[in-house]
Amino acid sequence: MNKTPLVIGNWKMELSHKSAIEVVSAIKKMMQQETYPADIVVCPSFPSIAAVHASVQGTPIAVGAQNVHHEEKGAFTGSVSVASMRGFITWCILGHSEVRRAEGDSDALVAQKAKLVLSHGIRPIVCIGETGQQHDSDETISVISAQIDMLLSSLDRVSLLKTVIVYEPIWAIGTGKLPDPNEVYEVLLFIRKRIAGHFDIELADRVYLLYGGSVQASNVKQYIAGPGADGVLVGGASIHPRDFMDIVSRTASAYAL
Ligand code: 13P
């Protein structure tokens, strides 16, 4: 089936407001000079979301948040509600391992957040993945299956189709350690089969599955080509516009193979 590859930049807490605007301006400029046959999402930190959204008007670039509070509203000092971002974001990263670690988000809470953002017309980008220790003791598939099953039992077909699932081995995030592409294919295939078992093959084929973890222009192709991912979630390299757009180009060309 024909899908457009998806490349998402997770800017984490790396940029000042001024730098965030500069990065998105540079990306826009490159997109005016060259055609990039991929869908592009940038995820600034909360205070820059509205300005980045304003900056990308009239361009194909979409904006996402890096997290959201699980309640609609209330006395939650320091938290950010989906309603406060509505109109500015079309995507929201959920269950990133850095958030799971810092805030203790469980699979059940991630699923609850996914339903919440979907009810506001926002598409969830759900991250799953195993720790280095779990990887070394061959627990990857059991960890992934618990994470994916919670999501599948919480979402209906339409919701799942709007959801992007990212396999991010935690030990590959920000470390430069790259998983064997065959292992990534196996995990992605496992996820598709799980979706097919819960729903059907047609739906499983249509759901976007991404890879994330130490992605660079020099290594992205191996995770995309052939039976690989439908795109990538990029951390460190996404705050450098040239590097990010190189990743976008190479993802698009590997996906077309
Ligand atoms: P790096 O690309 O810096 O490894 O980060 C990956 C990531 O966490 C994206 O969400």
Residue type at 35 in one-letter notation? T
- Dist CA 134 CA 30 (whole Å): 40
The closest alpha carbon to 6, from 254, 253, 252, 257, belongs to 252
Enzyme catalytic residues: 96, 168
- CB-CB contact of 65 with 93 (8 Å): yes
For the segment 178-224, what is each residue's pLDDT rounded down to a tens digit? Answer: 999 999 999 999 999 999 999 999 999 999 999 999 999 999 999 99
Q: What is the DSSP letter of 47?
A: G
Q: Which two tokens stand for residue 198?
A: 């819960």
Residues forming a β-bridge with 125: 93, 164
Which residue among 233, 244, 247 is best mutated to probe the pocket of ligand 1, counting the most ligand atoms within 8 A of its Cβ? 233
CATH 3.30.200.20 applies to domain 6-255: no
Say whether 229 sits in a helix, a strand or coil. coil
- Dist CA 214 CA 45 (whole Å): 20
- Band (pLDDT 50/70/90 cuts) for residue 116 is very high
How many angstroms is it from 139 CA to the middle of ligand 1? 21
Say whether 196 sits in a helix, a strand or coil. helix
For the segment 127-186, what is each residue's pLDDT rounded down to a tens digit? Answer: 999 999 999 999 999 999 999 999 999 999 999 999 999 999 999 999 999 999 999 999
Report the mean per-residue pLDDT for the chain.
97
Average pLDDT over residues 241-246: 98
Say whether 175 sits in a helix, a strand or coil. coil
Whether pLDDT at 73 is above 70? yes
How many angstroms is it from 216 CA to the middle of ligand 1? 10
Which residue among 173, 175, 184, 238 is best mutated to probe the pocket of ligand 1, counting the most ligand atoms within 8 A of its Cβ? 173
The closest alpha carbon to 125, from 14, 236, 7, 254, belongs to 7
Of ligand 1's listed atoms, the one at least distance from the Cα of 174 is 4
How many angstroms is it from 145 CA to the middle of ligand 1? 22
Burial grade of 142 (CB within 10 A; 0-12, 13-18, 19 or more): exposed
For the segment 9-31, what is each residue's pLDDT rounded down to a tens digit? Answer: 999 999 999 999 999 999 999 99
Residues with CB under 6 A from ligand 1: 10, 96, 168, 173-174, 212-215, 233-237
Whether pLDDT at 1 is above 80? no
How many angstroms is it from 75 CA to the middle of ligand 1? 31
- Band (pLDDT 50/70/90 cuts) for residue 61 is very high
Q: Please, what's the largest Cα pairwise distance for the chain?
A: 51
Q: pLDDT value at position 169?
A: 98
